[in-house]
Structure 1
Amino acid sequence: MSDSVTKSLKLTPLVLAGGSGTRFWPRSRKSRAKQVLALSGGTETMIQETVARLLPLAPADDFLVITNGLLVGTIREQLPEIPHSRILCEPMARNTAPACALAAMIVERTAPETILGVFPSDHVVTDDARFQQVIRAAMQIAAAGENIVVLGAPPTRPETGYGYIKQGTVAGEFADLGMTARCVQRFTEKPQIDRAIEFLADGNYAWNAGIFLWSAKTLANAIREHRPAVAGPLETIAAAYGTPEFEAVFAAEYPKVENISIDYAVLEPRSAKGAASNIYCLPADFGWNDLGSWTALHEHAMAKGGVSRGHGNIVECDQALHLEAFGNYVYSPGKTVALLGVSDLVVVETDDAILITTRAHSQEVGRVVSELTKRQRLDLI
């Protein structure tokens, strides 16, 4: 497949921007989830960085963004280049499958062959040029039939917070893409540590980067096949898109759909078909990190070069002192921070809260938010 073929394809990037980012408490709250924060070391927020690396692939008018009522105003302010009509506000959270399927059905009504790319709004990429090269290759595969393309990041540790993709044989029919496409055998969500160790040793598993590409009609038809009860209300909502009745129809119909991820709704049942599944994996070898925890942010900052770096410490503050301290992450803007004889801590200070935990427990910060909710401390979540 040539570059001219890629240029003739049309991409609609779907940016998923719901969620509350509980694992980044206390910096992240429901009204300022991590996608609207500048976490990765620059001045742009995570959703702004996401859109910026996609703009070379599609014009702003072709984007779709799906978020929630607490974030929609902030996101529209942060993304002035995207028309308000293309930033949709979910009436209630319904996970990734309904959001993806709704976008597919909206696009399918006018341009069924358009490639729909699903992109989380809160991931980081360090090599934008390679990212765009991989997406262009994925578009070609998605356009070559009823194909689904997933991106898999090479695992570097036995991570229990990620989903995994088991890769099978090399897809020879896509050998001219300049990168290896492999057939997908199975998806596994967030395994226990013993299985994660096995997956890392196996060598055929990749982390599920949560980035998927397919034609609008391929995804819409997959939802109709595997989740017909979900498809019905979404068809009604899609038919109302662009009309004065859209918001009312959205609010009435969306609560009727199942709360389910795209992995469970489409990818797992499709992968069960074996060789007939038409699911292919391309390498997410562009410096991907989903920043799913304070530990992941520490890892990203170490790779990129943190604000104050020494002995594996990343300290965002006015001035830092490191004395026999190793591998800590501290966020305390405007303060002098002294680290003495401590290792692998996470300390995050905001105006109204302080988190103190270990890097090993950073995936569990959501438990703090759950406990605050039980105690009716809604001012802190």
Structure 2
Amino acid sequence: MAGGAGTRFWPASRKMTPKQLLNLAGDRSMIQSTVDRLGTLCPPKNVLVVTNEVLVDAIRDQLPDVPAESIIGEPAKRDTAPCVGLAAAWVMAMDPEAIMAVMPADHVISPDDVLQKAMQHAASLVEEDETRIVTFGIKPTYPAEVFGYIERSEELPGTEYPTFDVARFREKPDAKTAAEFLKAGTFYWNSGIFVWKAKTILAALEKFEPEMTAHLKTIQASIGTDSFAETLTKEFTAIKGTSIDYAVMERYDNVKVVEAPFQWDDLGNWTALPRQRGVDDEGNTIDAKHLGIKTSNSIVRSDDDHLIVTVGMEDCIVVRTPDATLIANRNDESAVKEVVKKLAENGWTEYL
């Protein structure tokens, strides 16, 4: 899934270059890293990318080994359930018995071999019972309010990795509830990574979202024909969007959660960079040509060799691009999303 806008990474993340196309956690873009980490487990010919239609060409440029026709552009933003349904319909057209994994393109996961083994474990659970839906839970390290949670119940015996029945999914909590979840020890962060048979998720969508499924079936029937693009535009745009968690996960009975054995990070905003790129002796994370004097606990990034000098700055974010510069209080970083909203209201669309 690679259709997000990444507004919290403005000004680097823009409409035509959202965060999944940026090198935020390493030398490769986030979507390239997502494909890379699958290795031989899922070769490029088996990779399907669903994104915003305006990003199709850019993603094809970044993923030359993935078949061009396997990078599909949504004609409208309709949340994750239609995205998953479209992907499953495409996979079903290729192989009616296929097991598919769904992964967002903006996560950082390591090591690769551990992820691949965990994916194989999840696939084996689906092979044992094709009605199963498997997801990965991240063991929480602090009472996060920005993630949804999964509550586990009974453990499945004899599994390679700790695997549990899902009691229920929980929405993003307030601070008090998040602290209670952490203390209970039976809650995971919801990773948004799923493994299932394509036909199983389509059957679940048909049960819970029949109107959506009707449109998806029409799209599926056009795959491989000259009318696919026209049908996709007409039918997908007509779908009422909702999340896959609400459409299926919160309502489906046979969901298993695997305690993730890999390291996971969801790069949600600029404050995630220190976790990925580290800090210097003053607590700064620097990805730029930078001279800092009395500068601490700050994040500085530039897209070019423009020199950035900071003096007497603490807990700041400085991000420079050729046409815009962000200077923000690190502790009020969520306000970056408000900046994008204000730019749109002012009609300054050239900066979006």
- Do the two structures share a fold, i.e. TM-score over 0.5? yes
Deviates more, 1:339-348 or 1:120-129: 339-348
What residue number does 2:269 align with?
293
Give the percent of matched residue pairs that are identical in Structure 1 and Structure 2. Answer: 39
Q: Does 1:82 align with 2:66?
A: yes
Deviation at 1:310, TM superposition (A): 2.2
The question of whether the paired residues in 2 share the 8 Å contact of 1:143 and 1:214 is answered with no
Measured against aligned partners, the alpha-carbon deviations of 1:15-67 in whole angstroms (never above 9, x if no partner) come to: x111211010000001000011111122x111111111113212222211111
CA 1:50 to 1:310, structure 2 compared with 1: closer, same or farther past 3 Å? same
2: CA distance between counterparts of 1:140 and 1:98?
Answer: 26
What residue number does 1:8 align with?
none
1: CA distance between counterparts of 2:242 and 2:281?
Answer: 43
The question of whether the paired residues in 2 share the 8 Å contact of 1:154 and 1:285 is answered with no
1:41 equivalent among 26, 38, 42: 26
2:185 equivalent among 203, 214, 219: 203
- Report how many residues are paired: 350
Deviates more, 1:82-91 or 1:340-349: 340-349
What residue number does 1:366 align with?
337
1:167 aligned counterpart, secondary structure: strand
What residue number does 2:156 align with?
171
What residue number does 1:29 align with?
14
The question of whether the paired residues in 2 share the 8 Å contact of 1:166 and 1:206 is answered with yes
Q: Does 1:353 align with 2:332?
A: no
Correspondence 1:138-217 to 2 at 5 A: 138-145=122-129, 146-172=131-157, 175-176=158-159, 178-217=160-199
Deviation at 1:368, TM superposition (A): 0.9
1:331 equivalent among 282, 297, 301: 301
Measured against aligned partners, the alpha-carbon deviations of 1:73-103 in whole angstroms (never above 9, x if no partner) come to: 1000111111111111111111110111122
Deviation at 1:320, TM superposition (A): 3.5
| Structure 2 unaligned blocks of 5 or more | none
The question of whether the paired residues in 1 share the 8 Å contact of 2:99 and 2:198 is answered with yes
Q: Does 1:65 align with 2:41?
A: no
Q: Does 1:222 align with 2:193?
A: no
Deviation at 1:315, TM superposition (A): 1.2
The question of whether the paired residues in 1 share the 8 Å contact of 2:161 and 2:261 is answered with no
One-letter identity of the residue aligned with 1:19: G
1: CA distance between counterparts of 2:209 and 2:100?
Answer: 19
TM-score by length of 1: 0.88
Deviation at 1:341, TM superposition (A): 4.2
1: CA distance between counterparts of 2:300 and 2:132?
Answer: 44
1:30 aligned counterpart, secondary structure: coil
2: CA distance between counterparts of 1:344 and 1:131?
Answer: 34
Q: Does 1:320 align with 2:296?
A: no
TM-score by length of 2: 0.95
Task: Give the aligned CA root-mean-square deviation in angstroms.
Answer: 1.6
The question of whether the paired residues in 2 share the 8 Å contact of 1:182 and 1:280 is answered with yes
2: CA distance between counterparts of 1:25 and 1:110?
Answer: 38
1:131 aligned counterpart, secondary structure: helix
The question of whether the paired residues in 1 share the 8 Å contact of 2:151 and 2:187 is answered with yes
2:233 aligned counterpart, secondary structure: helix
The question of whether the paired residues in 1 share the 8 Å contact of 2:140 and 2:188 is answered with yes
2: CA distance between counterparts of 1:286 and 1:110?
Answer: 30
One-letter identity of the residue aligned with 1:154: K
